[in-house]
Amino acid sequence: MTTVKEAAFDVLRRHGLTTIFSNPGSTEVSLLTGLPDDLRFVLALHEGSVVGMATGWAIGRDAPALALLHTTAGLGNAVGAIATARAGRVPLVILVGQQDRRHLALEPFLAGRLGGLAGDYPVWADQPVRAQDVPGALARACHEAATSRGPALVVVPMDDWAAEFDGEIMAAPKRLLRLAAVADHELAPLVELLAGARSPAIVTGAGADWASLVSLAERLACPVFQESFGGRAGFPQDHPQYAGVLPADRTRLRTVLGAYDVVLTVGAPVFRQYPYVPGPLVPPGTFVALVTADPAEAHRSPADLAFLAPPAAVCARLAALLPARSGAPVTPWEVPAVLEPPAGGRPLRAAHVLRELARRLPADAALIEETPSSRPDLHRLVPARNPLGFVSAAMGGLGFAVPAAVGLRLALPDRPVVAVVGDGSALYGLHALWSAAHYRVGALFVVLANGRYAVMDRLADKQGGKAPWPPFTEVDMGGLARSLGCPARRVDTYDELTAVLDEVLPSLSAREEPLLLDVTVTVDPDFQP
For the chain, domains (ranges, CATH) are 4-162 (3.40.50.970), 184-321 (3.40.50.1220), 343-520 (3.40.50.970)
All residues at 6 or more sequence positions from 326 whose CB lies less than 8 Å from its CB, including other chains:
221
**What average pLDDT score do residues 235-264 get?**
95
* pLDDT at 83 > cutoff 70: yes
**What average pLDDT score do residues 161-170 get?**
86
Q: Strand ranges (DSSP E) for 36-123?
A: 40-43, 65-69, 92-98
Q: Are 86 and 396 in contact (CB under 8 A)?
A: no
State the Cα–Cα distance between residues 370 and 419, nearest whole angstrom: 8
State the Cα–Cα distance between residues 17 and 54, nearest whole angstrom: 11
**What is the per-residue pLDDT across 391-417, written as a single tens digit (0 to 9) for each?**
999 887 889 999 999 999 999 999 999
pLDDT at 397: 80
Q: Are 265 and 286 in contact (CB under 8 A)?
A: no
pLDDT at 179: 63
The whole-chain average pLDDT of the chain stands at: 92
* pLDDT at 126 > cutoff 80: yes
pLDDT at 333: 63
Cβ neighbours around 113 below 10 Å, total: 9
Percent residues over pLDDT 70 in the chain: 96
Q: Are 24 and 47 in contact (CB under 8 A)?
A: no
CA angle 459, 463, 464 (to 5 degrees): 120
pLDDT band at 167 (very low <50, low <70, confident <90, very high): confident
Burial readout 93-109 (b: 16 or more C-beta within 10 A, e: otherwise): bbbbbbbebeeeeeeee
Question: What end-to-end distance do the CA atoms of the chain give, in Å?
Answer: 61
**What average pLDDT score do residues 66-88 get?**
96
pLDDT band at 529 (very low <50, low <70, confident <90, very high): low
**What average pLDDT score do residues 148-165 get?**
95
Q: Which of 127-141, 243-257, 412-426, 466-480 has the lowest mean pLDDT?
A: 466-480
**What is the per-residue pLDDT across 491-521, written as a single tens digit (0 to 9) for each?**
999 999 999 999 999 999 999 999 999 999 9
**What average pLDDT score do residues 25-51 get?**
96
Q: What is the 3-state secondary structure (H, E, C) of 197-210?
A: CCCEEEEECCCCCH
pLDDT band at 419 (very low <50, low <70, confident <90, very high): very high
pLDDT band at 298 (very low <50, low <70, confident <90, very high): confident
pLDDT at 213: 98
Which is more confident, 6 or 175? 6
State the Cα–Cα distance between residues 433 and 421, nearest whole angstrom: 13
Which is more confident, 172 or 503? 503
State the Cα–Cα distance between residues 151 and 84, nearest whole angstrom: 10
Specify which residues 369 forms β-bridges with: 392, 420
State the Cα–Cα distance between residues 71 and 310, nearest whole angstrom: 36
Element (H, E) at 215: helix 210-220
* pLDDT at 170 > cutoff 80: no
Of 5, 6, 41, 3, the C-alpha closest to 24 is 41
Percent residues over pLDDT 90 in the chain: 78
CA dihedral 177, 156, 56, 312 (to 10 degrees): 20
3-state secondary structure of 60: helix
**What is the per-residue pLDDT across 343-360, written as a single tens digit (0 to 9) for each?**
888 899 999 999 999 999
pLDDT at 336: 66
* pLDDT at 525 > cutoff 70: no
**What average pLDDT score do residues 425-434 get?**
95
